[in-house]
């Protein structure tokens, strides 16, 4: 596997950042997807703003950057979804990275 995926800003036309704008590596993709990565095309096909922010939250948690991770958590528009993540973070932080 290659060390890093392309950083081509695929979703700039949709107006929000994704994991692909943040230099996600193949290994990080595998870790986030439990070893069964979807293709880049599949990822973009079903992606919403809130799921992109959730993925960035998880990516920066995996990278050990909680402040940056929390920034993306706060960008999630759906209050219920954001609060569920916060609750899970308090109860079982490991599950948020490997879910």
- In a structure prediction context, what are the per-residue pLDDT tens digits for the chain, which is 99 residues long? 334 444 444 444 568 999 999 999 989 998 888 767 678 888 888 889 999 999 999 999 999 999 999 999 999 999 999 999 989 888 865 555 544
pTM: 0.78
Instruction: Check if the beta carbon of residue 77 is closer than 8 Å to that of residue 38.
Output: no
Can you say how many angstroms the Cα of residue 17 is from the centroid of all Cα atoms in its chain?
Answer: 10
User: CA 14 to CA 12: how far, in whole Å?
Assistant: 5
Instruction: Check if the beta carbon of residue 55 is closer than 8 Å to that of residue 19.
Output: yes
């Amino acid at each position: 596997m290659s060390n890093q995926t392309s950083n081509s800003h695929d979703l700039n036309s949709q107006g929000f950042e994704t994991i692909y704008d943040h230099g996600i590596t193949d290994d990080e993709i595998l870790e986030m997807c439990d070893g069964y990565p979807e293709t880049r095309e599949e990822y973009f096909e079903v992606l919403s703003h809130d799921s992109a922010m959730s993925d960035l939250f998880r990516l920066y948690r995996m990278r050990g950057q909680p402040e940056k991770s929390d920034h993306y958590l706060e960008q999630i528009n759906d209050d219920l979804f954001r609060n569920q993540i916060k609750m899970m973070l308090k109860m079982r932080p490991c599950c948020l990275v490997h879910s």
